[in-house]
Amino acid sequence: MKKRQLLKSTVAALALTLLGTAQAQTTPIKFQLDWRFEGPSALFLTPAAKGYFKDVKLDVTIDAGNGSGGTVTRVASGAYDMGFADLAALMEFHANNPDAPNKPVAVMMVYNDTPASVMALKKSGIKTPADLSGKKLGAPVFDAGRRAFPIFAKANAVTNVTWTAMDPPLRETMLVRGDIDAITGFTFTSLLNLEARGIKAADVVVLPYPDYGVKLYGNVIIAAPKLIKDNPAVVKAFLSAFAKGAKLVIANPTAAIADVKARDGIVNTELETRRLKLAIDTVINSPNARAEGFGQINGPRLSLMASQVSDAFNTKSRVNADVVWNGAFLPTKAELDVLPKK
């Protein structure tokens, strides 16, 4: 009996030792989203919920954000290891902080096209970009569409626009009230927010930037330079697990929203499902994404964006496209085959 008890104790002790060793080999990663928990955040929450990050020995903590600029800054400060942010915001940080010791780097493309658009109500009479000249537009000062509007304006000869700034929750409300003529914002955010305020989608004019000469990339996964230098295998493992989860989300967005709901119980399941599907259709599984390949970039297009951001954002120095992007950690071609065939 004593031998049996001793054997059990030994086995239990060994199990605890092995568990401790396994936990010690797991690398913690703090990840910052660009915005709150909404439909598109399923791209990250689903691989976490399915255990894909744990499968590659990563203990990933995912936090909501309050804008791409904040995400870039927090990764640069070391508060977060990786994040999800608008590429233009990353470029701006690089160009305005040329001497910063820890400039984050884009390691994977997710939104191959910028989700930014100009939106107006049909009753305003605005039908094309030309109709925006002389009008009053509104958006938060940090809005990606507002920051990039000079590129849109130049491509479409829009002049004499005045801007009204507001907090994000007031943007669509002010448009509905008639305080402004049009707004800029991510299509899958503002369009659905307008519907939530009683406006039918058929009564909204949407002018997507990519459809009107603005070929900017959208959101990318960024990584801290320290993580890239000290543990490049972790970056590669994260992207591999993310790609596996992204394929699942793109194939079945309805099911993926359950993982968003699990993180924020008050989200509207139907609304966020539509938001995710809209994001997939417009910026993730777009013609450009299918042409360039999920997760990847086109060199000349990246260089053009760097030049456009330098001009539109009036940066202190010119954006160097060669230092904002590092594709060395991308998963294999087979792993990146996540987009449904059309």
pLDDT band at 22 (very low <50, low <70, confident <90, very high): very low
State the Rg of the chain over Cα.
22
**Mean per-residue pLDDT over the chain, rounded:** 93
Would residue 12 count as lying in a domain? no
Would residue 155 count as lying in a domain? yes
Instruction: Give residue 6's pLDDT.
Output: 52
Residue 199 and residue 121 share a domain: yes
Would residue 6 count as lying in a domain? no
Asked whether residue 284 carries a pLDDT value surpassing 80, the answer given is yes
Would residue 30 count as lying in a domain? yes
Q: Tell me how far CA of residue 46 lies from CA of 248, 263, 280, 300, in angstroms.
A: 8, 11, 15, 33
Residue 57, sorted as left (phi over 0), alpha (psi -120 to 50) or beta, turns out to be left
Tens digit of each residue's pLDDT (9 = 90 or more) over 191-203: 999 999 999 999 9
Would residue 82 count as lying in a domain? yes
Tens digit of each residue's pLDDT (9 = 90 or more) over 231-266: 999 999 999 999 999 999 999 999 999 999 999 999
Question: Which domain-ending residue is among 212, 245, 272?
Answer: 212
Residue 224 and residue 157 share a domain: no
Residue 139 and residue 204 share a domain: yes
Domain that holds residue 239: 25-113+218-324
330 token code pair: 């991308």
Residue 108 and residue 249 share a domain: yes
The stretch 73-81 carries a mean pLDDT of 97
Residue 207 and residue 74 share a domain: no
Question: Which domain-ending residue is among 186, 212, 238?
Answer: 212
Would residue 17 count as lying in a domain? no
Lowest-pLDDT range of 1-5, 28-32, 50-54, 305-309: 1-5
Residue 145 and residue 84 share a domain: no
Residue 160 and residue 197 share a domain: yes
State residue 335 phi and psi, 5-degree precision: -70, -30
Contact 82, 72 (CB under 8 A): no
Would residue 10 count as lying in a domain? no
Residue 274 and residue 157 share a domain: no
Residue 178 and residue 59 share a domain: no
The stretch 94-99 carries a mean pLDDT of 96
Residue 104 and residue 139 share a domain: no
Instruction: Give residue 12's pLDDT.
Output: 53
Q: Tell me how far CA of residue 115 lies from CA of 68, 84, 219, 283, 287, in angstroms.
A: 13, 14, 9, 6, 14
Instruction: Give residue 25's pLDDT.
Output: 86
Residue 178 and residue 30 share a domain: no
Token pair 């002018």 in the structure block, residue: 207
Instruction: Give residue 154's pLDDT.
Output: 94
| Total number of domains constituting the chain | 2
Residue 334: DSSP 8-state? T
Would residue 5 count as lying in a domain? no
Residue 173 and residue 79 share a domain: no
Distance (Å, rounded) from C-alpha 239 to C-alpha 233?
10
Domain with residue 129: its CATH number is: 3.40.190.10
Residue 325: DSSP 8-state? B
Tens digit of each residue's pLDDT (9 = 90 or more) over 5-17: 655 555 555 555 5
Q: How many other CB atoms are found less than 10 A from the CB of residue 16?
A: 10
Question: Which domain-ending residue is among 196, 212, 228?
Answer: 212
Reported pTM? 0.91
